[in-house]
Amino acid sequence: MTAPADGVLTTLFPTGHALGITTDTGIELLIHLGLNTVQLQGKFFTPQVQQGAVVKKGQVLLEFDLKAIEAAGYSLVTPIVITNTANYTDIVESDATTITAGETLLTIIK
């Protein structure tokens, strides 16, 4: 998983399955890799940065084994939540069903 924007890694769950980023523009993102993956207790997740690190767009934040996670019976659906939505007029989702690193997933309107 790579950083979607420049910012600070404000939260890194000890199990590595979820992280929070506050972007340089003030957007607060919570990214949760897979559903119920906290139950893996860190297995298959290898963080590449520490909580509090300044990160740059495209920087690797987390490595994980997708095949092993899926083989263990977990969904790979990855919720991305903007936790400070009250600060924005609108948040528009891409209508793409698959997003590749660097592509636009959300457009946030101030």
Place of tokens 């009250």: 86
Label residue 2 exposed, middle or buried (CB < 10 Å: 0-12, 13-18, 19+): middle
| Among the listed residues 85, 46, 90, 93, the one whose alpha carbon sits nearest the alpha carbon of residue 68 | 46
* Annotated active-site residue in 32, 40, 61, 69: 32
Distance of CA 15 to the CA centre of its chain: 14
Do residues 92 and 106 make contact, with C-beta atoms less than 8 angstroms apart?
yes
In the residue annotation, 32 being an active-site residue is answered as yes
Task: Residue 68: count other Cβ atoms within 10 Å of its Cβ.
Answer: 12
Give catalytic residues, as residue numbers.
Answer: 32
